[in-house]
């Protein structure tokens, strides 16, 4: 049985529109939540929510887990460029493989998250993080909606590959 696809584009492939739409939804959710944090919290503010979760305002000039955060500023443009290159590659992959739904979901989530963080770097020079999970005094590095989308996308990519190999 053939997989169902979304509407075909004029080139005969799968339409990019649903996948780009998903990425836009991620970007909008990410930027909306970050705007709330910037409006209601000062840098370093923290609000207790549960025994294992706080809302905080943190700025990350680096990448995941503050990688390169202490660099002299060049990393801002490096990560903006990396996000732009990744977006071009992901759009190309979606155009080519958009009919593979889990794969396309994964790429769209990753692209939306990457662009959400690129917008922060361009607007502020840093990424706004605010989700703070902890166990006692041990805190996981703060993150945001974009980071969550990137992580979920990566998990879906791994799952898609495992399922593909299993079917082979």
Residue 117 has pLDDT above 80, yes or no: yes
Tell whether 8 is covered by a domain.
no
Q: pTM for this structure? A: 0.86
Is residue 159's pLDDT more than 90?
Answer: yes
Identified catalytic residue from 30, 120, 147, 160: 147
What average pLDDT does this structure show over 49-72? 80
Quote the mean pLDDT of the chain. Answer: 88
Q: 147 an active-site residue?
A: yes
134, pLDDT greater than 50? yes
Write the DSSP assignment of 32-60 as a string of letters. HHHHHHHHH--TT-EEEEETTEEEEEEEE
> For residue 135, is it within any domain?
yes
Number of domains in the chain: 1
Provide the pLDDT for residue 76: 77
Catalytic-residue membership of 160: no
The partner residues of 128 in beta bridges, in order of sequence, read 59
Which domain, by its residues, includes 36? Answer: 17-41+54-167
Please write the tens of the pLDDT for every residue from 32-48.
999 999 999 999 999 99
Does some domain include residue 2?
no
Residue 58 lies in a domain: yes
Question: Per-residue pLDDT for 7 more than 60?
Answer: no
Please give the order of strands across the beta sheet that includes 138-139: 46-50, 53-60, 127-135, 138-139
Selecting among 120, 129, 132, 160, the annotated active-site residue is: 129
């Amino acid at each position: 049985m053939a997989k169902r696809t979304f509407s075909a584009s004029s080139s005969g492939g799968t339409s990019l529109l649903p996948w780009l739409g998903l990425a836009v939804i991620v970007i909008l959710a990410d930027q909306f939540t970050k705007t709330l944090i910037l409006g209601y919290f000062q840098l370093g503010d923290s609000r207790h929510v549960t025994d294992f979760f706080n809302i905080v305002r943190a700025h990350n000039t680096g990448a995941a887990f503050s990688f390169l955060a202490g660099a002299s500023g060049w990393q801002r443009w490096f990560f903006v460029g990396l996000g732009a290159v990744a977006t071009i590659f992901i759009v190309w992959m979606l155009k080519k493989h958009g009919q593979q739904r889990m794969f396309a979901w994964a790429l769209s989530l990753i692209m939306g998250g990457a662009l959400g963080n690129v917008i922060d770097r361009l607007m502020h020079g840093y990424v706004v993080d605010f989700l703070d999970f902890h166990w006692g005094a041990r805190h996981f590095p703060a993150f945001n909606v974009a980071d969550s989308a990137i992580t979920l996308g990566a998990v879906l990519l791994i799952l898609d590959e495992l399922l593909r190999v299993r079917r082979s």
